[in-house]
Structure 1
Amino acid sequence: MQRDSSSATVSGTDQDDPATDGRVTGRRMASTGSGLRIQGDDNLQSMLVGTVMRKIKSRSWKKQRYFKLQEDCTTIWYKSKKAGNTHSTFSVSDVEAIREGHQSEVLLSIADEFPADRCFTLVFRGRRGNLDLVAESVEEAQSWIRGMKKLIENLENMGEREKLDQWIGDLFKKADKNKDGRMNFKEVRDLLKMMNVDMNEHHAHRLFTMADKSQSGTLEDDEFVLFYKMLTQREDLLKVFQDYSADGQKLSQSDLEDFLKEEQLEEDDFQQKAKQLIEHYEPSDTAKLLNAMTFDGFLMYLGSSEGSIFNPRRRGVFQDMSQPLCHYFISSSHNTYLMEDQLRGQSSVEGYIRALNRGCRCVEVDCWDGANGEPIVYHGHTFTSKILFKDVVSAVGKYAFKVSEYPVILSIENHCSIEQQRVMAQHLNHILGDKLLKTTLDGKVGLPSPEDLKGKILLKAKKIGGLEESFNGMVEDSLTGEASDEDEVAEIDKDNLHRDSIRCRFKVVSHLLPQKTKQHLSKELSDCVVYCKSVHFSSFKHSRIHSKFYEVTSFTESKARKHLRDAAAEFVHHNSRQLTRVYPSGFRTDSSNFNPQEMWNAGCQIVALNFQTAGEGMDMNDGLFSQNGHCGYVLKPVFMREAAKRFDPEMPQNQDGYQPVILTIQVISGQQLPKVNIKEDSIVDPLVRVEIHGVPIDQAKQETRYIENNGFNPVWYDTLRFTVHTPELAMVRFVVEDYDKTSKNDFVGQYTLPLSCMQQGYRHIHLLSKDGTTIPPSSLFVHIRITKLDKPSSLS
């Protein structure tokens, strides 16, 4: 993308605003040069001047704040109107979406006070709370809404080099303590520490002197750019480039073809591919005329999506979506309404919106009798807050198909009376309308496919009778039985867990544990259940003989593990025919997660996780469902779909077509790793751990050595090797940690992907933070090889 520095000229800004100081180099280094045109854009000009808006936290908390866009066009600065109050900032890159009008619980609560056309919500990435705002006029609201959308779009279209420029520009402004737009050597040393570099002072001063062409003792504008370029030299990439360059200066088309064939193992026509890469990534017109790629073009290619470790061909929907639902892993959420822990946490429709926007296709709704005849949703017998069932249904109806057109399953845990169950059915029918699946599909025998059910919402709940009886009108008006299919009390008793141990932590637990009760099920609600009838599990033998294709069983994680230990092959066979849901133990009061991989190993489709809780469990879930267009459905391997295969995850060597592989990962280098310690003088000592998650025999982890005092450009060249017996199920997780000799290593960043989606060759990995958001521009540079073992007997 060509830079256009003339577009960065801004007038009419507040010269006394401390947030805009250091503008000379900040403007040069920041994203305003990436094609974003400010002049002539009234929305951005208005944002640069600033606006007073109300920040809303609740019906009783509404306070005025002064908001303005900083000149870097990537940061929003705001403070109270009262003099002396400290200001706050947030990055535009942290904003995931803008919702117009009353589209949050907070703004809905003040809908009678402020009209919808003056209200909007900024939705942040990860687990940060939303920012609800009310502008003074409709025009000001629209100015910010349009402006923010343009800024977000600009950042999304920004190249990797421009993102790096933006990052370094932000650091420049922080290090420029006296705000004069130039940097002395002391400020440069401070900048290096911010960048996680513990550089030898003599070397740092040598680079500083070389860049100080004016010999003024300070770096300004072009001099700082020169210093920055010297600092960011990629010797690791230069070595690869020169290995294939005939003259050390450029890659001819033939050189590039050799690189693609020998290192990247590209499947395309090498000649055509090389031409396309030169045309797309080479910045020099002269080099293009010579059909060659310079080192700058090589950098841009390896930093692009085509140079990513994740195969671009696996990003869009590429799998067969016409198989029965039970043949897919389905992205699934547990206690979806919770934003925090399951004892005292907040319940919110925002939990459903966030889960659905992350591609989740099965959400949980715990329903209880509420006041005024309206069913409510919350974690029963706890101090979690309560929300209305109809608000949950409205949110699901609105957001179900924003990011994926494939079906959404509402997993209902029903504790309501007959009367309020009828209200639930009314809300489902009235609010969802045609989106709610109410009848079987014409001419369809057995479970339909995601393709068949596009745009449909399915209810998973108890049902009176079966599909056959209900559609022939052969059922009674109600059924006595357990309307909820989650049986945590029995699970707790069987595992011999002691309530006393919990009572010590939570004084109220003796009456918090869910109790099994017998209740009636209304025909109206029962009729909303079609292909997902919840049933209790007796045994695999009983299931083989008596179960119907539309019946769904649910297990706590511990009961599922027991079935895996006792009859793994039977479990896989069961899941080739019908749906199974696995959910976290009731003792996970902090809403922590188990590792879903062991459940996927058994072919369990609906592995429900607490989406609000970051960690390894959600890393694995995000990694698996990052493929296939983030649509929330991933086709299981063929040996888990065909009942005759009898795959046993404990003995994968016995399967037909057994084909193990050797995975070799050379961890070469890291770039711009973030600090994990808030102390200014702290520097990361990074190491990289590579974890293989899969069937039990494949579980493994290895790590590199640590590099002392260098988070900016650590270099390892360490090689790790793994034997993977079932590559179709294997997930690979890269974890970067700050080595600590005395205590547990600190988390720096991670990236998880299926082995089947991994590209071979020299590849880059963009690291993700604990909450699953990108850490720009932190990355790893690795070399990947996957070698098939034709003779299993050669395994050592």
Structure 2
Amino acid sequence: MGDSSRSPTPEAGGGGDGERLHTDRNGRAGSPGEELPRSPSPCYRRYSDSTPTRSPSPLLLADGYDELETRSSRKTKSVSFHSHTNWKSDRKIQSAYDCLQANSRQYHRFFRLLDDLSAIRWTPTTKKTSKAQLMIEQIKEIRTGRNCESLRNKDFPAHYNEERIFSILYGDSYESLDLIAHSPEEASIWVTGLNALIGASKATPDAVEDRQTLREMWLKEMFEKASKNNSGGFIDQTTCIKLIKRLDSHVALVRVRQKLQEYDMGKTDGCRGRIDSQEFIDMFKEIATRPEIYFLLIRYANKDYLTLEDFHLFLEGEQGMAGLTTEKVIETIEKYEPAPEARKNRQMLIDGFTRYLMSEECDLFDPAHRTVCQDMGQPLVHYFVSTSHNTYLLEDQLKGPSSVDGYIRVLACGCRCVKVDVWDGQEEPLVYHGNTLTSKIPFREVIHAIATYAFDFSVYPVVVHLENHCSVKQQKVMARLLKSLLGSYLYVHPPDSPKPLTELSPEDLKYKIILKGKKLAREDQDEGEVSEEDEGGETKRNTNPKKIKLCKELSSLISLQRTRFTDLNTARNKQDVSEMCSLSESTSTKLAHTCPEELVNHNKKFLTRVYPNSSRVDSSNYNPQDFWNAGCQMVALNFQTPGQFMDVYEGRFRANGGCGYLLKPAVMREHISVFSAHSREIIPGVAPQLLKIKVISGQCLPKPRGSTATKASFIDPYVVIQVFGIPADCTEAKTRTVSNDSSFPIFDESFEFQINLPELALVRFVVLDDDFIGDDFVGQCTIPLDCIQTGYRHMRLLSSMGEPIESATLFVHVSISNKKGGGKPQRVKGKKTDKVKADIKPIGLKAADDLFKEASVPLVEAECVQDKVEDAWTELQDECGLEHTANMKQCLRVTISRYMATPDTARLSIQEENGVPFLRSSRPGPLPSHLHRLEIALQKVLLEIHHFLGHEEEFVSALESRLKPCLAMYDSLESHLSSNGIKGKKANRAMENYAWNVRIIRGQLDRLTTLTKKCRMAMEQVESTKTTLDSLNQRERSPLVRERPRLTLANRHNTTDNLTTYGSLGRSPTTPGADCKPKSILKKSNSNLESSSVGYGMQDEGIVTTSWGNGCQAQDDRR
């Protein structure tokens, strides 16, 4: 353990102001899984005797601390800071490691912030009081998660959630004090408060007051405009509600009315119902300020507003926006910041920041997918097509109503394939579900509705699935109506066309309606017999299927011919590419499980429609993902039935502008590829991705639809995250329940998911109300992974019917990165060639093996260069203390801030040396060791990126030249294998290995493309940093900045005490009613009590662990 004179190490020992709580010799607080008793009230106090005492401080009460009885005869108390409503034990056995005893000892600690806000002090300690503290002015930065080397290289049990971990870096050598809080909320409060104190210590004494004035000036001006017609400077409650809604449209009316009632309670009869200027300002601050966004603002900018540079960095670093200009950032500030003076100063206050985060620009769904953004020029078989089953039905399959409204509704949703069951009527054909009690509608009205609404929402082709049960006479009526009502929309594929219909693209067939049905064998027949039209009969093992007559007039209009399905081998050998099969749910499920690769290959060439089993008389739905995994294009669902699977379906087809056509993943389209959704092997050429989601909060969550009047006015919400995709990707996770927090719960929980086939994955967020009887549905949002924007995002929740719920949103943070091991890059034994050779599989045919042997050379070179870039990037991220999803802008932000925090750093600049941009400092003499390591890591990644970009075209050209002969040989591979005596299972295995190797080469090309975009963006971010540095250097040379004195303890106390920028927030992320002023985040107002927090600690060789809170630990990696 380090000498107390060297550094402020929180160390083990007796004495001091606190006592150790119940721990075993290994430092475990209580038994595994043990929870502290819950209090029925917001907070309670329990001492070693029953003598009532005065409340320790407003902060302790507001944040819901438990004061627990100590085992000492002394009447000192220990304080746990956690929320009763959010309490959840983190102690779970998740692996064998968790069953082992910790190789360390733990001790309880009291942590407190001094009254003058100058330092953090802890007890008990063997040090002198003056040494057992850390000065605020020494703190350089705060890191969250395991982003310090001392933590990154340590093994932690699974119950140490990373959201609970943060580190305080202090001193010129950037030593770290590593802390593990009892809960994520607890950690968030301390991180936010410390950042606020750091920012306050660097600001001018009146800087914060200026920001407060700007917001109040704006609110006062708005109030005066609203009250100009009223004498006495008052407004009534109706006007107040309208004004608040106008200033912040996302505020819940219920909350505003509740606050107005609270204000009225303290007034006399004559003053009730009237609001003055100051009351309005205070009320707006309390209602409109969201604590989680306020905390984000403080943690990102170290102050309660964003400058132009801060906001620019936030957009590029956190939101992942590329190619941003200063003009665009200014335009965004002017668009969302409501305070005129702040706009003039190019600053964004909390209201503007909240407006921006709630805007369409920050929606979780990528705006790029609100319009068609995929290649629409590929063959029809390469697309998933939005398809409806028995479209005319509005309810069940037996006795429900039929209506043209079914067609209008699904076409408005982007559906591109509808079904029409046609039967004989008295005069004209009718549409209904045959042999049931469903109502009937005229065929004429159905076709008229299709023609009218087919292209209102999407311009791409509509397929009309005709199930014909009519006589020849009424078939001719059908043909006449189709021609007259569809007109130029009707597409009839020419018999002499050089391409079959399925090889035409959606782009080729825009504004066309294609008829699908039975067709005569010869065009010269006036009429003939075809197998039964009933869809269920097409897959029956029936050697003598029922025959019906078909007239030439109707047959000639059919472009997509339906055919019976027997098995995949027969289809491969006999089915024409212009024919398509309809498979029942049961048949498709069997094929998808018994021969998944063959079904995927079948769907590369032929169109396949899947429809629900006839047993689903209630119009229920199956999981469409099971058949998308097999490459089936037209997976038909009952659109009239809401539920989980309809949510997944609608979520899938939200992509690509909702046009109803989605390009299948490359492995399902390429002629030479191997893919099975059920295989346990990696997908060749596809890089898995790591999806990280932090569910932060919910807004305006309604009571579940249909909830009874006896149900409490509050709901107990929790969020379930479901991932749909191939079986290896399917999983779900859920947050804890936030009890009695109703509309605005704070969840603050993070989850990680490995996605092996990102192109096919969807993420569904479901909000449920926790109840003893059954968890009620509140809202949901389903988004394809490809459509998710990273960064801080809001998503709009939808009802069970798919309709937007007014103002109901979830606030999340999302990051997506290639799957890669954590920590520092590990040295891999053996050469890179060994890995590539392992990826390339043997064919058993010398000519083929020689081709792939030649291709392995550029594969090795490309793999090595890419790994060097990624390893260098990881090393820089680790040195910056950032997640492995951090981009160059975020790394540069940390690097520049560390340079500027180092004494004698006068100027920073980006200078090019041999074409490589480097960050240079005018600081004389050698750099401190921590800064030198960071400089080396930054130089290394820039050199690797420069080298990669300089040779990227060579790698691509080399791989493409090796790929061409491999593709050319594939068509004749089967005959080559046969001539060399390779037959049967060996030949099949050789063909699969050949496709595998081709996919490896293509995957490397895809990876090169992705890394090229990432590297170019990084260089653009380095280039854009020049502007930031120019502004920073100019500001640092300003006499006002150079002569600005350091804040004394007194004025620092006053400045922070005045940091009431947004007034009383009304609640903190942990407990309703807490004040979110930076002082109140960490500082208690009653100075008579010594401690503001307590915990236990752990001591191991060179590692001293301290904590506050019941289970909050701190590690100091110094001897």
| TM, length-normalised to structure 1 | 0.69
Question: Do structure 1's residue 395 and structure 2's residue 449 form an aligned pair?
Answer: yes
| Higher relative contact order (Cα pairs below 8 Å, separated by 6+ residues) | 2
Give the equivalent residue in structure 1 for 2:361: 306
Deviation at 1:218, TM superposition (A): 4.6
| Match 2:750 to one of 719, 724, 730 | 719
- Residues 30, 567 of structure 1: CA spacing in aligned structure 2 closer, same or farther, 3 A cutoff? farther
2:539·2:564 contact (CA, 8 Å) conserved in 1?
A: no
Name the counterpart of 2:773: 743
Aligned partner of 2:931 in structure 1 is none
- Aligned residue type for 2:253: I
Residue aligned with 1:643, SS: coil
Letter in 2 for 1:657: G
Larger of the two Rg values belongs to structure = 2
- Does the 8 Å contact 2:539/2:565 carry over to 1? no
Aligned-residue Cα RMSD (Å) equals: 3.2
Question: Which position in structure 1 is the counterpart of 2:793?
Answer: 763
The secondary structure found in structure 1 opposite 2:758 is: coil
Deviation at 1:443, TM superposition (A): 5.9
Distance change >3 Å, CA 488–CA 790, structure 1 → 2: farther
> What is the one-letter code of the residue matched to 2:554?
L
Look up the equivalent residue of 2:584 and give its one-letter code.
T
Deviation at 1:418, TM superposition (A): 1.3
Aligned to 1:431, the other structure's residue is in SS state helix
* Aligned with 1:710 (options 721, 724, 741): 741
**1:563 Cα deviation after fit:** 0.5
* Distance in 1 separating the partners of 2:507 and 2:237: 53
In 2, the alpha carbon distance for the partners of 1:4 and 1:462 equals: 69
State the partner residue of 2:598.
570
Q: Give the match for residue 778 of structure 1.
A: 808
Identity %: 41
Q: For the Cα contact (< 8 Å) 2:429–2:474, is it kept in 1? A: yes
Cα distance change on mapping 1:227 and 1:560 into 2, 3 Å: same
Q: Name the amino acid aligned to 1:697.
A: A
Aligned runs of 1:482-497 on 2, under 5 Å?
482-487=531-536
| Equivalent position SS for 1:618 | helix
Aligned residue pairs total 591
Shift of 1:652: 6.8
Q: In 1, are the aligned partners of 2:226 and 2:243 still within 8 Å (CA)?
A: no
For 1:360, the aligned partner's letter is: C
Partner of 1:464: 520
Q: Give the corresponding residue for 1:628.
A: 656
Q: 5 Å matches for 1:485-564? A: 485-487=534-536, 517-530=546-559, 532-564=560-592
1:538-586 deviation digits (Å, cap 9, x = unpaired):
2222222222221111111111100001111111111111211111111
Find the counterpart in structure 2 of residue 338 from structure 1: 393
Deviation at 1:461, TM superposition (A): 0.6
Tell me: CA distance 1:441–1:208, structure 2 relative to 1, closer, same or farther (3 Å): farther
Distance of 1:524 and 1:30 partners within structure 2: 64
Q: Does residue 468 of structure 2 align to residue 414 of structure 1?
A: yes
Q: CA–CA distance in 2 between the matches of 1:517 and 1:229?
A: 74
Deviation sequence 1:383-430 (CA, Å, 0-9, x none): 110001111000000000011111101011111111111111111001
Q: What's the offset of the Cα at 1:25? A: 4.5
1:168 aligns with 2:217: no
> 2:508: which partner in 1?
452
Counterpart CA distance in 2 for 1:783 and 1:439 is 49
Residue type of the alignment partner of 1:458 = I
Q: Is this contact kept in 1: 2:668–2:675, CA < 8 A?
A: yes
Structure 2 residue 340 is matched with structure 1 residue 285 = yes
- Note if 1:351 corresponds to 2:382: no
Separation in 1 of the partners of 2:666 and 2:243? Answer: 47
Matched, 1:691 2:722: yes
Matched-pair contact (CA < 8 Å) for 2:698–2:746: yes
The 1:538/1:489 distance shift into structure 2, 3 A limit, reads closer
**Native 8 Å contact 1:670 1:711 kept in 2:** no
Report the Cα distance in structure 2 between the residues aligned to 1:560 and 1:31, rounded to whole angstroms. 58
Greater shift after overlay, 290-299 or 437-446? 437-446
Distance 1:644 1:300 in 2: 49
- Which amino acid in structure 1 is aligned with residue 627 of structure 2? M
1:791 deviates by 7.4
The residue that corresponds to 2:479 in the other structure is: 425
Give, in angstroms, the shift of residue 231 of structure 1: 3.1
CA distance in 1, matches of 2:506, 2:634: 14
For the Cα contact (< 8 Å) 2:539–2:566, is it kept in 1?
A: no
Compared with structure 1, are the counterparts of its residues 687 and 431 closer, same or farther at alpha carbon in structure 2 (3 Å cutoff)?
same
Paired position in structure 2 for 1:231:
287
Aligned partners of 1:624 and 1:753 also within 8 Å? yes
Note the C-alpha offset of 1:330. 0.8
Which position in structure 1 is the counterpart of 2:683?
A: 655
Shift of 1:537: 1.2
Contact 1:563 1:571 in 2 (8 A): yes
Cα shift readout 1:444-463 (whole Å, capped 9, x = no counterpart): 51321111111100001111
Which amino acid letter does the alignment assign opposite residue 566 of structure 1?
A: T
**CA distance, structure 1, for counterparts of residue 780 and residue 787 of structure 2:** 17
Contact 1:662 / 1:786 at 8 angstroms: preserved in 2?
Answer: yes
Q: From the superposition, tell whether residues 431 and 760 of structure 1 become closer, same or farther in structure 2 (CA, over 3 Å).
A: same
Compared CA separation, residues 441 and 664, structure 1 to 2 (3 A): farther
> Which piece of structure 1 moves more, 536-545 or 405-414?
536-545
Give 1:710 deviation, angstroms.
Answer: 1.4
Alpha-carbon distance between aligned partners in 1 of 2:449 and 2:242, rounded to the nearest angstrom: 38
Equivalent AA in structure 2 for residue 427 of structure 1: L
Question: How far did 1:286 drift?
Answer: 2.2
Please state whether the residue corresponding to 1:645 is helix, strand or coil.
coil
> Where in structure 2 are the equivalents of 1:148-163 lying within 5 Å?
161-162=248-249
SS in 2 for 1:420: helix
Pairing 1:249–2:290 present = no
1:766 Cα deviation from its structure 2 partner: 0.8
CA distance in structure 1 between the aligned counterparts of 2:633 and 2:683, rounded to whole angstroms: 21
Written as runs of structure 1 = structure 2, the 5 A alignment for 1:7-86 is 25-26=237-238, 29=241
- 599, 603, 614: which one aligns with 2:642: 614
1:275 CA displacement: 2.9
Map 1:269-284; keep pairs closer than 5 Å. 269=324, 271=326, 273-284=328-339
Alignment check: 8 A CA contact 2:791 2:815 kept? yes
Instruction: Point out where structure 1 has 5 or more consecutive residues left out of the alignment.
Output: 10-22, 35-158, 176-182, 189-204, 495-514
Kindly tell me: are residues 589 and 31 of structure 1, through their superposed partners in 2, closer, same or farther at Cα, counting changes over 3 Å?
farther
Whole-Å separation in 2 of the counterparts to 1:429 and 1:640: 36
Q: Distance in 2 between matches of 1:402 and 1:390?
A: 20
- Structure 1 residues 708 and 481: CA distance shift in structure 2, 3 A: same
**AA of the residue aligned to 2:555:** S
Q: Could you tell me how far 1:225 is from its partner in structure 2?
A: 8.2
C-alpha distance 428-483 of structure 1, shift in aligned 2 (>3 A): farther
For 2:457, give the aligned amino acid.
V
Tell me, yes or no, if the aligned pair for 1:668 and 1:715 is still in contact at 8 Å: yes
Q: Which moved more, 1:386-395 or 1:543-552?
A: 543-552
8 Å CA contact retained: 1:260, 1:270 = no
Cα drift, residue 249 of structure 1: 3.2
Alpha-carbon shift at residue 647 of structure 1 (Å): 1.5
Partner Cα separation in structure 2 for residue 670 and residue 26 of structure 1: 27
Indicate whether 1:317 and 2:372 are aligned.
yes
| CA deviation map 1:592-614 (0-9, x unaligned) | 11111111111111111111111
- 652 and 463 in structure 1: CA distance in 2 versus 1, 3 angstrom threshold: farther
- Aligned partners of 2:387 and 2:634 also within 8 Å: yes
* Structure 2 unpaired stretches of 5+: 1-218, 228-234, 827-1119
CA change 1:656–1:360 in 2 (3 A) is same
Residue in 1 that maps onto 2:150: none
Q: Which runs of 4+ in 1 moved over 4 A?
A: 2-9, 23-28, 30-34, 207-210, 212-215, 217-226, 270-273, 441-444, 488-491, 790-794
